[in-house]
């Protein structure tokens, strides 16, 4: 199994790379910070010398680069079995408070960047006749979020629907058994992106524990999963259906 992970230089992406390598997978790792990718590759190869780890610089907002880098890594590794759409930003501000720049940057990276990655991944999968597309969404996608989370949550809802739309298209066709689509909804998992969140919250999982749940769902090729399942699977029902006054107290 060969897995491509974007946003692999830190946080959830880097830990996914470590855990998937430990499970015997070869890796294609992409991010803007190649120095960190070099360090991660050295770490993985030191622990698992038999693994193959290819790296490439990639800014997912450069749509042409997403396609060319994906194809180059496919050629280098002899194919891509799985593509994890993970790269993203957590910037943002309340709408109309003078930080449209931060909201736009998050929207472009998280949604248009994910769209470019899906295009590149599905082009490969359609050509080779198999593959597994993994979309990293967020529990914030369950409901519109306030303040600095508004744009971020909207992008994460958008990318979840993007992946689900691809799955819907494939359903009932011969490719449905060959190309799988998984949407992950991570809750609070410690990472660089959410380091400003109160780390003392009882809902915050360690990076290792949280990613272990993500990897388990990926390897089962489930359609979707809230990760870790507890407390986030039951919490998803509350977030979707709670009256607004209740929701605001929860978030």
- Residues annotated as catalytic are 152
Measured distance CA(122)–CA(46) in Å, rounded:
32
Burial class (CB in 10 A: 0-12, 13-18, 19+), 10: middle
Q: Are 11 and 17 in contact (CB under 8 A)?
A: no
CB 76 within 8 A of CB 54: yes
Q: Which two tokens stand for residue 158?
A: 């958008």
- Residues 171-190 as b/e (b if ≥16 CB within 10 A, e otherwise) read eeeebeeebbbbbbbbbbbb
């Amino acid at each position: 199994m060969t897995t491509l992970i974007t946003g692999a230089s830190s946080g959830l992406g880097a830990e996914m790379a470590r855990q998937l390598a430990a499970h015997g997978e070869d890796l294609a790792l992409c991010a803007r910070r190649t120095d960190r990718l070099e360090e991660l590759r050295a770490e993985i190869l030191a622990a698992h010398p038999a693994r193959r780890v290819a790296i490439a610089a990639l800014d997912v907002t450069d749509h042409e680069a997403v396609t060319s880098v994906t194809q180059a890594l496919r050629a280098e590794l002899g194919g891509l079995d799985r593509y994890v759409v993970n790269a993203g930003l957590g910037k943002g501000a309340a709408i109309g408070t003078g930080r449209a720049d931060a909201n736009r940057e998050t929207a472009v990276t998280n949604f248009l960047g994910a769209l470019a990655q899906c295009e590149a991944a599905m082009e490969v999968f359609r050509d080779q006749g198999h593959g597994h597309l993994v979309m990293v969404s967020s529990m914030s996608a369950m409901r519109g979020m306030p303040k600095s989370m508004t744009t971020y949550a909207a992008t994460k809802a958008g990318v979840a629907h993007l992946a689900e739309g691809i799955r819907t298209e494939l359903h009932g066709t011969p490719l449905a058994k060959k190309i799988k689509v998984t949407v992950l909804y991570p809750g609070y998992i410690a990472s660089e992106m959410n380091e400003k969140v109160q780390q003392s919250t009882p809902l915050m999982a360690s990076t290792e524990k949280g990613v272990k749940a993500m990897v388990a769902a990926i390897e089962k090729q489930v359609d979707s999963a809230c990760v870790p399942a507890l407390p986030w699977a039951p919490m998803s029902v509350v977030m979707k259906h709670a009256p607004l006054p209740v929701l605001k107290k929860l978030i």
